[in-house]
């Protein structure tokens, strides 16, 4: 790679952003997750379980030999080595750097005795806030790393390597299975602390950290998706109609969107129709449905949600037509998936 000022600045910005997201991840685990005995999946969850399990019997031993930052690094070492051999080199290297930063920041927070956000017990409102905050901050960090095309190690590396070997494997389900297993392990901590209680007390003690951990895991996933895809949602109109020109004009002039036309044949009637595919904002759905009802009441329409859009989305020079009525577009959101027509 040729080095110049632009390239150097780009790399400096990349690693600065990586350090920020690694620090946020360290904050999430050190300040909110470990003190409250959560284990929202991954290597971080295992490190939290180890620390809290030992701390139940000997806090001094846990602080000295089971520091989460140190164990984050130790458990990631074999995974990072595997990534260097099995995955694309830049991804593997940036993941190595991220793991070092993430575990290093976590250890540093412990070393300086940084304040933690710990509830008085698993039934404390502070504990619930910790679960929410840990999930949100962890989600911002995870989403930022996805935007940078890097990872934080742990189960992500396992999933990536598995996908390289078997592309037909669903990575998302594999990650969810691994994280869920770690979450369920967090129940061991509750059992240890309430093993002499009644069956109901033991059940509550076991289930509570598991449920809190699932809350944190869920929020991390949702916030990461918002960071990577944004909050603006769109939908796809799939319109099967025999009035192609009129409907196309309505889309272009009425809501200022483009679309594509494909030929479609009914499997029962064997009749050929036109299907117009159009991506619109959620707030535009009611206006477009009204236009379609006026132009072709017999049109068959089904609507699905879009997660990501790339390329030209909005028409720049709408064509004038007398067929279409221009309307204000201020409508409510619709369901994720909707079927309109016969």
Domains assigned to the chain = 5-229 (no CATH), 234-340 (3.30.70)
Give the span between the Cα atoms of 321 and 315, in whole angstroms. 15
Q: What is the pLDDT of residue 39?
A: 92
Report CA-CA distances (Å) from 212 to 38, 71, 226, 340: 7, 22, 21, 40
The Cα–Cα gap between 172 and 156 comes to 10
pTM to 2 decimals? 0.73
**pLDDT at residue 150, as a whole number:** 86
| Successive 10-residue mean pLDDT values, the chain, 342 residues | 77 93 95 93 91 91 91 92 87 91 94 91 84 95 88 83 75 80 89 83 90 94 82 80 88 85 84 87 81 88 76 47 35 38 40
How large is the greatest C-alpha to C-alpha distance in the chain, in angstroms? 80
pLDDT score, position 18: 94
């Amino acid at each position: 790679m040729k080095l110049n000022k632009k390239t150097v600045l780009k790399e400096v910005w990349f690693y600065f952003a990586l350090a920020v997201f690694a620090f946020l991840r360290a904050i999430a685990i050190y300040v909110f997750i470990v003190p409250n005995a959560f284990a929202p999946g991954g290597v971080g969850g295992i490190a939290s379980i180890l620390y809290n399990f030992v701390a139940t019997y000997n806090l001094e031993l846990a602080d000295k030999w089971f520091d989460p930052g140190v164990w984050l690094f130790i458990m990631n070492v074999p995974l990072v080595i595997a990534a260097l051999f099995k995955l694309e080199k830049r991804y593997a290297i940036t993941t190595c750097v991220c793991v070092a930063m993430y575990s290093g920041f976590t250890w540093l927070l412990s070393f300086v005795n940084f304040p933690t956000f710990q509830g008085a017990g698993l039934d404390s409102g502070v504990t619930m806030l910790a679960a929410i905050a840990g999930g949100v901050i962890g989600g911002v960090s995870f989403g930022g790393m996805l935007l940078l095309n890097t990872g934080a190690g742990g189960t992500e590396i396992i999933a990536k390597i598995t996908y390289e070997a078997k592309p037909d494997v669903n990575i998302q389900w594999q990650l969810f299975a691994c994280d869920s297993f770690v979450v369920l392990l967090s129940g061991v901590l509750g059992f240890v602390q309430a093993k002499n209680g009644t069956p109901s007390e033991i059940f509550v003690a076991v289930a509570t950290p598991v449920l809190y951990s699932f809350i944190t895991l869920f929020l991390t996933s949702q916030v990461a998706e918002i960071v990577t895809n944004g909050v603006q949602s769109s939908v796809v109109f799939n319109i099967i109609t025999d009035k192609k020109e009129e409907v196309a004009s309505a889309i272009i002039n009425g809501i200022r969107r483009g679309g594509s036309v494909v030929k479609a044949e009914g499997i029962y009637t064997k009749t050929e129709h036109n299907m117009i595919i159009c991506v619109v904002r959620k707030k535009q759905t009611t206006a477009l449905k009204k236009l379609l009802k006026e132009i072709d009441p017999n049109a068959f329409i089904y609507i699905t949600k879009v997660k990501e859009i790339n390329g030209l989305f909005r028409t720049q020079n709408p064509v004038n037509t007398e067929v279409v009525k221009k309307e204000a577009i201020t409508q409510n959101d619709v369901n994720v998936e909707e079927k309109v027509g016969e």
